[in-house]
């Protein structure tokens, strides 16, 4: 794999919190589902559901299906929170178009 998938500090903190609340400390799973605004939407769930470890940060290991790793190369998972809530976002990179929702993207 060329460029790796990365996790921001704020995303790692929120992933760790969600994993702990779910009873799977340090383990989270990311997969891609079809989107309506862009081609792929990230879906995060607690635990190690399937796939391979693709990124580690601050005590959290993120797993993903091996067949989706090429779509995630070079992306960064971020988390933004405010008084009305929060959400995980894909930070825009070259050759990646993100929807305004931030969790959907297409490779250009």
Beta strands in 1-108 (DSSP E): 6-7, 27-34, 40-46, 52-57, 60-64, 76-82, 85-91, 96-98, 104-107
Taking 80 as the threshold, does the pLDDT of residue 81 lie above it? yes
User: Please, which residues have CB within 8 angstroms of residue 6's CB and are 6 or more apart in sequence?
Assistant: 55, 57, 75, 76, 77
Q: What is the pLDDT of residue 93?
A: 78
The SS3 call for residue 6 is: strand
User: Are 101 and 37 spatial neighbours (Cβ–Cβ below 8 Å)?
Assistant: yes
User: Are 19 and 33 spatial neighbours (Cβ–Cβ below 8 Å)?
Assistant: no
For 21-72, write each residue's pLDDT tens digit.
Answer: 999 999 999 999 998 889 999 999 999 888 999 999 999 999 999 999 999 9
In terms of pTM, does the model score above 0.95?
no
Tracing tokens 């635990």 back to the chain, one arrives at: 47
Taking 80 as the threshold, does the pLDDT of residue 80 lie above it? yes
């Amino acid at each position: 794999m060329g460029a790796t998938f990365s996790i921001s500090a704020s995303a790692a903190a929120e992933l760790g919190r969600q994993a702990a609340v779910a009873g799977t400390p340090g383990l989270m799973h990311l997969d891609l589902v079809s989107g309506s605004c862009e081609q792929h939407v990230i879906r995060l769930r607690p635990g190690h559901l399937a796939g391979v470890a693709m990124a580690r940060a601050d005590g959290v290991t993120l797993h993903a299906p091996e067949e989706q790793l090429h779509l995630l190369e070079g992306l960064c998972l971020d988390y933004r929170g405010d008084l009305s809530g929060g959400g995980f976002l894909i930070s825009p990179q070259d050759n990646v178009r993100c929807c305004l929702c931030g969790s959907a993207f297409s490779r250009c």
